[in-house]
Amino acid sequence: MTKILLDTLIPIFAGLLLGYVAGRRGTMDNRNVRDLIVLVMDFAIPCALFSTIIGSSRTSLLQHVPAALMITLVFCALYLISYIWARRWRGMSLSDASVLALTIGFPNSAAIALPLFRGAYGPESTVTAALSIVIGSITISPLTLALLEAAKHSGGNHVSATQILRSLPRALLQPVVWAPLVALFGVFFQLHVPSFVAGTLTTMGSAATGSALVLTGLVVSAQSFRFTGGVAITTVLKLVGQPLFAIFVMLLFRMSHNDMRNITVISAIPGGFFGLVFGKGFDATPEIASSGLIGTYLFGWATLALWMLFAAKFF
Protein backbone atom coordinates (compact mmCIF):
# COMPACT_ATOMS: atom_id res chain seq x y z
CA MET A 1 0.00 0.00 0.00
CA THR A 2 2.88 2.37 0.74
CA LYS A 3 4.23 1.95 -2.79
CA ILE A 4 0.77 2.64 -4.26
CA LEU A 5 0.48 5.81 -2.18
CA LEU A 6 3.92 7.00 -3.26
CA ASP A 7 3.35 6.13 -6.92
CA THR A 8 -0.02 7.91 -7.08
CA LEU A 9 0.24 10.85 -4.67
CA ILE A 10 3.78 12.08 -5.40
CA PRO A 11 3.19 12.72 -9.15
CA ILE A 12 -0.05 14.55 -8.34
CA PHE A 13 1.44 16.83 -5.71
CA ALA A 14 4.56 17.29 -7.84
CA GLY A 15 2.32 18.69 -10.60
CA LEU A 16 0.64 21.02 -8.11
CA LEU A 17 4.03 22.10 -6.78
CA LEU A 18 5.28 22.74 -10.31
CA GLY A 19 2.42 25.17 -10.98
CA TYR A 20 2.88 26.81 -7.57
CA VAL A 21 6.63 27.33 -7.97
CA ALA A 22 6.22 28.55 -11.56
CA GLY A 23 3.69 31.11 -10.36
CA ARG A 24 5.71 32.27 -7.37
CA ARG A 25 8.94 32.60 -9.37
CA GLY A 26 7.24 34.42 -12.23
CA THR A 27 7.99 31.69 -14.76
CA MET A 28 4.26 31.69 -15.48
CA ASP A 29 1.86 34.57 -14.98
CA ASN A 30 -0.32 33.60 -12.03
CA ARG A 31 -2.57 36.65 -12.33
CA ASN A 32 -3.64 36.51 -15.95
CA VAL A 33 -4.51 32.83 -16.25
CA ARG A 34 -7.58 33.23 -18.43
CA ASP A 35 -6.11 31.32 -21.39
CA LEU A 36 -5.11 28.39 -19.18
CA ILE A 37 -8.54 28.43 -17.54
CA VAL A 38 -10.16 28.23 -20.98
CA LEU A 39 -7.87 25.34 -21.96
CA VAL A 40 -8.67 23.39 -18.79
CA MET A 41 -12.33 24.26 -18.20
CA ASP A 42 -13.61 24.58 -21.77
CA PHE A 43 -11.53 21.97 -23.62
CA ALA A 44 -9.40 19.49 -21.66
CA ILE A 45 -11.71 18.56 -18.76
CA PRO A 46 -14.95 18.45 -20.83
CA CYS A 47 -13.21 16.20 -23.39
CA ALA A 48 -11.78 13.97 -20.64
CA LEU A 49 -15.19 13.64 -18.97
CA PHE A 50 -16.96 12.96 -22.26
CA SER A 51 -14.47 10.30 -23.40
CA THR A 52 -14.44 8.57 -19.99
CA ILE A 53 -18.23 8.44 -19.71
CA ILE A 54 -18.99 7.61 -23.34
CA GLY A 55 -16.65 4.64 -23.05
CA SER A 56 -18.85 3.15 -20.32
CA SER A 57 -21.87 0.96 -20.85
CA ARG A 58 -25.41 1.75 -19.75
CA THR A 59 -25.27 -1.25 -17.42
CA SER A 60 -22.09 0.06 -15.79
CA LEU A 61 -23.54 3.53 -15.30
CA LEU A 62 -26.76 2.14 -13.82
CA GLN A 63 -24.65 0.16 -11.37
CA HIS A 64 -23.05 3.43 -10.30
CA VAL A 65 -26.37 5.20 -9.59
CA PRO A 66 -26.21 4.60 -5.79
CA ALA A 67 -22.64 5.96 -5.71
CA ALA A 68 -23.65 8.96 -7.83
CA LEU A 69 -26.56 9.77 -5.52
CA MET A 70 -24.32 9.47 -2.47
CA ILE A 71 -21.66 11.74 -3.97
CA THR A 72 -24.38 14.28 -4.77
CA LEU A 73 -25.58 14.19 -1.17
CA VAL A 74 -22.05 14.53 0.26
CA PHE A 75 -21.12 17.44 -2.02
CA CYS A 76 -24.41 19.32 -1.61
CA ALA A 77 -24.52 18.84 2.16
CA LEU A 78 -21.09 20.36 2.76
CA TYR A 79 -21.84 23.12 0.24
CA LEU A 80 -25.00 24.05 2.15
CA ILE A 81 -23.30 23.85 5.55
CA SER A 82 -20.38 25.99 4.36
CA TYR A 83 -22.68 28.54 2.75
CA ILE A 84 -24.85 28.95 5.86
CA TRP A 85 -21.75 29.17 8.07
CA ALA A 86 -20.19 31.83 5.82
CA ARG A 87 -23.37 33.92 5.67
CA ARG A 88 -24.60 33.70 9.25
CA TRP A 89 -21.44 33.36 11.29
CA ARG A 90 -18.85 35.01 9.06
CA GLY A 91 -21.09 37.78 7.69
CA MET A 92 -19.86 37.21 4.13
CA SER A 93 -21.62 38.53 1.05
CA LEU A 94 -23.68 36.18 -1.08
CA SER A 95 -21.00 36.05 -3.79
CA ASP A 96 -18.11 35.41 -1.38
CA ALA A 97 -20.09 32.80 0.54
CA SER A 98 -20.94 30.88 -2.64
CA VAL A 99 -17.27 30.88 -3.72
CA LEU A 100 -16.20 29.59 -0.30
CA ALA A 101 -18.92 26.94 -0.28
CA LEU A 102 -17.85 25.61 -3.69
CA THR A 103 -14.18 25.60 -2.65
CA ILE A 104 -15.03 23.44 0.37
CA GLY A 105 -17.88 21.37 -1.03
CA PHE A 106 -16.35 20.33 -4.36
CA PRO A 107 -13.02 18.45 -4.01
CA ASN A 108 -10.40 18.92 -6.72
CA SER A 109 -11.56 15.80 -8.52
CA ALA A 110 -10.74 17.38 -11.88
CA ALA A 111 -7.01 17.39 -11.16
CA ILE A 112 -6.60 14.59 -8.62
CA ALA A 113 -9.37 11.96 -8.71
CA LEU A 114 -8.80 10.51 -12.19
CA PRO A 115 -5.00 9.92 -11.92
CA LEU A 116 -5.31 8.87 -8.29
CA PHE A 117 -7.97 6.22 -8.92
CA ARG A 118 -6.31 4.98 -12.11
CA GLY A 119 -3.03 4.44 -10.27
CA ALA A 120 -4.38 3.16 -6.96
CA TYR A 121 -7.49 1.17 -7.85
CA GLY A 122 -7.27 0.43 -11.58
CA PRO A 123 -8.94 1.82 -14.73
CA GLU A 124 -12.38 0.44 -13.85
CA SER A 125 -12.55 2.73 -10.80
CA THR A 126 -12.16 5.85 -12.92
CA VAL A 127 -15.90 5.81 -13.69
CA THR A 128 -16.61 6.76 -10.08
CA ALA A 129 -13.88 9.40 -10.21
CA ALA A 130 -15.33 10.83 -13.43
CA LEU A 131 -18.84 10.82 -11.94
CA SER A 132 -17.59 12.89 -9.00
CA ILE A 133 -16.40 15.56 -11.46
CA VAL A 134 -19.67 15.34 -13.41
CA ILE A 135 -21.80 15.66 -10.27
CA GLY A 136 -19.89 18.66 -8.98
CA SER A 137 -20.01 20.20 -12.44
CA ILE A 138 -23.77 19.84 -12.92
CA THR A 139 -24.98 20.59 -9.37
CA ILE A 140 -23.10 22.97 -7.08
CA SER A 141 -20.93 24.51 -9.83
CA PRO A 142 -23.84 25.89 -11.91
CA LEU A 143 -25.60 26.84 -8.67
CA THR A 144 -22.56 28.92 -7.70
CA LEU A 145 -22.43 30.55 -11.13
CA ALA A 146 -26.16 31.30 -10.90
CA LEU A 147 -25.71 32.86 -7.45
CA LEU A 148 -22.79 34.97 -8.69
CA GLU A 149 -24.76 36.11 -11.74
CA ALA A 150 -27.86 36.89 -9.69
CA ALA A 151 -25.87 38.80 -7.07
CA LYS A 152 -24.11 40.81 -9.78
CA HIS A 153 -27.37 41.88 -11.43
CA SER A 154 -29.22 42.52 -8.17
CA GLY A 155 -26.35 44.57 -6.75
CA GLY A 156 -26.99 43.33 -3.22
CA ASN A 157 -26.61 40.51 -0.74
CA HIS A 158 -30.10 39.15 -1.26
CA VAL A 159 -31.48 37.46 -4.34
CA SER A 160 -34.73 35.69 -4.99
CA ALA A 161 -35.22 32.16 -6.24
CA THR A 162 -36.57 33.65 -9.47
CA GLN A 163 -33.33 35.57 -10.04
CA ILE A 164 -31.29 32.41 -9.46
CA LEU A 165 -33.44 30.42 -11.90
CA ARG A 166 -33.04 33.13 -14.52
CA SER A 167 -29.25 32.96 -14.14
CA LEU A 168 -29.10 29.17 -14.23
CA PRO A 169 -29.39 28.71 -18.05
CA ARG A 170 -26.21 30.75 -18.56
CA ALA A 171 -24.38 28.52 -16.09
CA LEU A 172 -25.55 25.44 -17.98
CA LEU A 173 -23.88 26.74 -21.16
CA GLN A 174 -20.43 26.05 -19.66
CA PRO A 175 -18.73 23.13 -21.51
CA VAL A 176 -17.74 21.52 -18.21
CA VAL A 177 -21.46 21.32 -17.41
CA TRP A 178 -23.09 20.27 -20.69
CA ALA A 179 -20.36 17.96 -22.07
CA PRO A 180 -20.78 15.24 -19.41
CA LEU A 181 -24.56 15.57 -19.66
CA VAL A 182 -24.39 14.92 -23.40
CA ALA A 183 -22.14 11.90 -22.73
CA LEU A 184 -24.58 10.51 -20.16
CA PHE A 185 -27.41 10.97 -22.65
CA GLY A 186 -25.39 9.14 -25.31
CA VAL A 187 -24.60 6.19 -23.06
CA PHE A 188 -28.16 5.88 -21.77
CA PHE A 189 -29.60 5.78 -25.27
CA GLN A 190 -26.66 3.73 -26.59
CA LEU A 191 -25.73 6.25 -29.28
CA HIS A 192 -22.77 5.31 -31.44
CA VAL A 193 -19.81 7.68 -31.45
CA PRO A 194 -17.49 7.33 -34.47
CA SER A 195 -14.01 6.07 -33.59
CA PHE A 196 -12.32 9.19 -34.98
CA VAL A 197 -14.51 11.39 -32.76
CA ALA A 198 -13.76 9.27 -29.70
CA GLY A 199 -10.04 9.33 -30.55
CA THR A 200 -10.06 13.11 -30.92
CA LEU A 201 -11.81 13.60 -27.58
CA THR A 202 -9.43 11.19 -25.86
CA THR A 203 -6.42 13.06 -27.27
CA MET A 204 -7.79 16.42 -26.15
CA GLY A 205 -8.78 15.01 -22.78
CA SER A 206 -5.28 13.65 -22.17
CA ALA A 207 -4.21 17.21 -21.40
CA ALA A 208 -6.71 17.49 -18.55
CA THR A 209 -4.74 16.03 -15.65
CA GLY A 210 -1.45 17.86 -16.15
CA SER A 211 -2.98 21.19 -17.10
CA ALA A 212 -5.49 21.06 -14.23
CA LEU A 213 -2.71 20.34 -11.74
CA VAL A 214 -0.59 23.22 -13.04
CA LEU A 215 -3.62 25.55 -13.09
CA THR A 216 -4.44 24.65 -9.49
CA GLY A 217 -0.85 25.38 -8.44
CA LEU A 218 -0.92 28.70 -10.31
CA VAL A 219 -4.23 29.75 -8.76
CA VAL A 220 -2.94 28.89 -5.28
CA SER A 221 0.37 30.73 -5.86
CA ALA A 222 -1.47 33.97 -6.60
CA GLN A 223 -3.42 33.94 -3.35
CA SER A 224 -2.40 35.48 -0.07
CA PHE A 225 -2.30 33.18 2.94
CA ARG A 226 -3.19 33.93 6.55
CA PHE A 227 -3.90 31.05 8.90
CA THR A 228 -6.84 32.33 10.91
CA GLY A 229 -9.49 30.56 12.91
CA GLY A 230 -11.83 30.67 9.92
CA VAL A 231 -9.18 29.11 7.69
CA ALA A 232 -8.61 26.36 10.27
CA ILE A 233 -12.35 25.59 10.30
CA THR A 234 -12.44 25.62 6.50
CA THR A 235 -9.50 23.21 6.32
CA VAL A 236 -10.93 20.82 8.91
CA LEU A 237 -14.38 20.89 7.30
CA LYS A 238 -12.91 19.84 3.97
CA LEU A 239 -10.24 17.32 5.00
CA VAL A 240 -11.96 15.73 8.00
CA GLY A 241 -15.61 16.77 8.07
CA GLN A 242 -16.54 15.76 4.53
CA PRO A 243 -15.02 12.23 4.67
CA LEU A 244 -16.52 11.61 8.11
CA PHE A 245 -19.95 12.76 6.95
CA ALA A 246 -19.64 10.53 3.87
CA ILE A 247 -18.75 7.48 5.97
CA PHE A 248 -21.60 8.11 8.42
CA VAL A 249 -24.23 8.41 5.67
CA MET A 250 -22.85 5.44 3.70
CA LEU A 251 -23.03 3.24 6.80
CA LEU A 252 -26.66 4.25 7.24
CA PHE A 253 -27.46 3.23 3.67
CA ARG A 254 -25.28 0.08 3.79
CA MET A 255 -23.25 0.97 0.71
CA SER A 256 -20.91 -1.62 -0.82
CA HIS A 257 -17.29 -1.70 0.34
CA ASN A 258 -15.99 -0.48 -3.03
CA ASP A 259 -18.38 2.48 -3.01
CA MET A 260 -17.47 3.32 0.58
CA ARG A 261 -13.76 3.24 -0.27
CA ASN A 262 -14.13 5.31 -3.42
CA ILE A 263 -16.43 7.97 -1.98
CA THR A 264 -14.37 8.30 1.20
CA VAL A 265 -11.22 8.92 -0.82
CA ILE A 266 -13.00 11.38 -3.15
CA SER A 267 -14.31 13.30 -0.14
CA ALA A 268 -10.78 13.46 1.33
CA ILE A 269 -9.30 15.17 -1.75
CA PRO A 270 -8.30 18.81 -1.04
CA GLY A 271 -10.51 21.70 -2.09
CA GLY A 272 -11.15 22.50 -5.73
CA PHE A 273 -10.17 25.57 -7.71
CA PHE A 274 -13.54 26.01 -9.46
CA GLY A 275 -14.77 28.47 -6.82
CA LEU A 276 -11.85 30.88 -7.13
CA VAL A 277 -11.83 30.55 -10.92
CA PHE A 278 -15.54 31.39 -11.09
CA GLY A 279 -15.14 34.15 -8.52
CA LYS A 280 -12.43 35.92 -10.51
CA GLY A 281 -14.96 36.99 -13.10
CA PHE A 282 -17.26 38.49 -10.45
CA ASP A 283 -14.69 40.15 -8.17
CA ALA A 284 -15.41 37.55 -5.51
CA THR A 285 -12.17 36.05 -4.20
CA PRO A 286 -12.53 36.02 -0.40
CA GLU A 287 -9.29 35.56 1.51
CA ILE A 288 -10.79 32.83 3.67
CA ALA A 289 -11.50 30.80 0.51
CA SER A 290 -8.02 31.29 -0.97
CA SER A 291 -6.26 30.70 2.35
CA GLY A 292 -8.54 27.76 3.06
CA LEU A 293 -7.68 26.27 -0.33
CA ILE A 294 -3.97 26.59 0.47
CA GLY A 295 -4.59 25.07 3.90
CA THR A 296 -6.24 22.00 2.39
CA TYR A 297 -3.13 21.42 0.25
CA LEU A 298 -0.65 22.05 3.07
CA PHE A 299 -2.27 19.29 5.12
CA GLY A 300 -4.11 17.38 2.41
CA TRP A 301 -1.14 15.32 1.22
CA ALA A 302 -0.98 13.71 4.68
CA THR A 303 -4.71 13.42 5.42
CA LEU A 304 -5.46 11.97 1.98
CA ALA A 305 -2.84 9.26 2.51
CA LEU A 306 -4.30 8.50 5.95
CA TRP A 307 -7.84 8.27 4.57
CA MET A 308 -6.64 5.94 1.81
CA LEU A 309 -4.96 3.72 4.40
CA PHE A 310 -8.12 3.81 6.53
CA ALA A 311 -10.29 2.87 3.52
CA ALA A 312 -7.92 0.04 2.56
CA LYS A 313 -8.07 -1.42 6.07
CA PHE A 314 -11.79 -1.18 6.76
CA PHE A 315 -13.43 -1.20 3.33
Tell me what pLDDT residue 14 has: 86
Q: Over the stretch 101-143, which tens digit does the pLDDT of each residue have?
A: 999 999 988 788 888 888 888 877 888 988 898 899 889 988 9
Q: Tell me the residue range of the domain where 126 lies.
A: 2-221+228-314
Shortest CA distance to 207 belongs to which of 77, 36, 3, 33? 36
> What is the model's pLDDT at position 314?
85
Mean pLDDT by 10 residues, the chain (315 residues): 72 86 91 85 88 84 92 96 93 92 92 85 84 89 87 68 71 82 89 88 86 85 86 96 97 94 96 84 84 90 93 87
Residue 245 has what pLDDT? 97
SS (H, E, C) 57-103: CHHHHHHCHHHHHHHHHHHHHHHHHHHHHHHHHCCCCHHHHHHHHHH
pLDDT score recorded for residue 155: 65
The pLDDT assigned to 156 comes to 57
Cα separation, 148 vs 164, in Å, equals: 9
Q: Count how many domains the chain has.
A: 1
From CA 112, how far away is CA 210, in angstroms rounded?
Answer: 10
The pLDDT value given to residue 55: 82
* pLDDT value of position 150: 81
DSSP one-letter code for 283: T
pLDDT at 217: 85
Cβ atoms of residues 93 and 154 within 8 Å: no
CATH number, residue 84: 1.20.1530.20
